[in-house]
Amino acid sequence: MAHCEFCRIAQGTAPAAVAFASARVVAFADRRPIRPGHVQVIPRCHVESFDDLDEDLAAEIILLGQRIARAQKRIYGVRRVGFVFTGNDVPHAHAHLIPLHAADDVTSARYSDPGVPWAGAEDRRETARQLRAALNGLS
């Protein structure tokens, strides 16, 4: 039984414009692209969050992402391609590869409220301190 829409795409039972498929991953054109050429890469197995992917599968997705990015640069004439792992719209780990035509295509600046100040230096230091402490206890 398919867990979600992306599981059905991975199994070939839901429509998708597939650009690449292997035994463990599938890459397909995003249905609501941020920019032309926006592609998603998913694992065939259901994994809800990117941090739950086993290391080999995560590496396979990243390596495929690099190959796709090189192709996107040639096809779309861009200098950079954004690579973002998510899993919130569909609870299935997925990477977005987006040809970057504008500097804010995949940044918080595009979506930030201009009236809200950026994090100050002390806020950034506190964020880093909390992460260092948390990372010390993780493998």
The 10s digit of each residue's pLDDT in 37-92 is: 999 999 999 999 999 999 999 999 999 999 999 999 999 999 999 999 886 788 89
**Pair 101, 110: CB distance under 8 Å:** no
User: Which residue has better confidence, 68 or 138?
Assistant: 68
- Domain containing 58: what range? 5-136
Residue-level pLDDT at 109? 57
**Pair 34, 81: CB distance under 8 Å:** no
pLDDT at 1 > cutoff 80: no
pLDDT at 138 > cutoff 70: no
Residue-level pLDDT at 121? 67
- Please list the residues that pair with 94 across neighbouring strands: 86
When divided into structural domains, the chain yields a total of: 1
Q: Which CATH number does the domain housing residue 48 bear?
A: 3.30.428.10
